Amino acid sequence: MATVRCDVCGGTFGRRHLASHKRLAHTKIGAPAASPMTAPFSEKGTIQKIGSLYESLFVEGRKRAMCLLAGIEKKVQNDPRIQ
């Protein structure tokens, strides 16, 4: 089996597995398995990602998410350091 080196991280992989490795380990911004080598999230991109994840939830999951976010928002509003 021929081995090749990943041009992103330098790891050694079989030729047949290199494409899968790159797809899974070196994904684009906003993907769940983002590696430390990708750029940081922007606030707008993060909000869009949260919105798309919220849309994928069932009704009960949406209710739980809203309760969780409401609780976090209440803590932020009561924090005197943020004023």
Question: What is the model's pTM?
Answer: 0.45
Closest CA to 22 of 30, 61, 13: 13
Q: Please, which pLDDT band fits residue 40 given cuts at 50, 70 and 90?
A: low
- The predicted pLDDT at position 1 comes to 64
User: What is the full DSSP assignment across the chain?
Assistant: --EEE-TTT--EEEGGGHHHHHHHHSPPTT-TT--TTSPPPPHHHHHHHHHHHHHTS-HHHHHHHHHHHHHHHHHHHH-GGG-
- The predicted pLDDT at position 12 comes to 87
The arithmetic mean of pLDDT across residues 18-22, rounded, is 86
Q: What is the share, in percent, of the chain residues with pLDDT greater than 90?
A: 14
- The predicted pLDDT at position 34 comes to 47
